[in-house]
Amino acid sequence: ELLSATDAMVDGKAHLADVNEALHSDLPEDEHETVAGLVSALAGHIPAPGDIINCGLVQFIVQEGDEQQVERVRVIVQPKGSD
């Protein structure tokens, strides 16, 4: 679900390629196929709702999930040049 050109609510099973295309982002697709896989790898564990994980200019905010899986994630792409 696209909230704006740089903000979306996605299913954890969403493919990174689809997110990259929708948000014009550059998330790495080589090691993980889904948003949940990438977010869990970046966090080093399965993150809980409310957890915030950053990957370059992209911020992931876990919305729904449990100790076994990430179900929904808000994905926000920061504008280039903003720190």
Pick the CATH number of 2-77 from 3.40.50.620, 3.40.1440.10, 3.30.465.10, 3.30.1110.20: 3.30.465.10
Q: Sheet holding 58-65: strands in order across?
A: 2-4, 7-11, 70-77, 58-65, 52-55
Entry pTM: 0.90
Angstrom distances, CA of residue 25 to CA of 8, 51, 54, 83: 12, 21, 13, 16
pLDDT tens-digit profile, the chain (83 residues): 888 989 999 999 999 999 999 999 999 999 999 999 999 999 999 999 999 999 999 999 999 999 999 999 999 999 876 55
3-state secondary structure of 40: helix
The pLDDT of residue 23: 94
The pLDDT of residue 82: 54
**Phi–psi pair at 76, nearest 5 degrees:** -120, 125
The pLDDT of residue 79: 82
The pLDDT of residue 40: 97
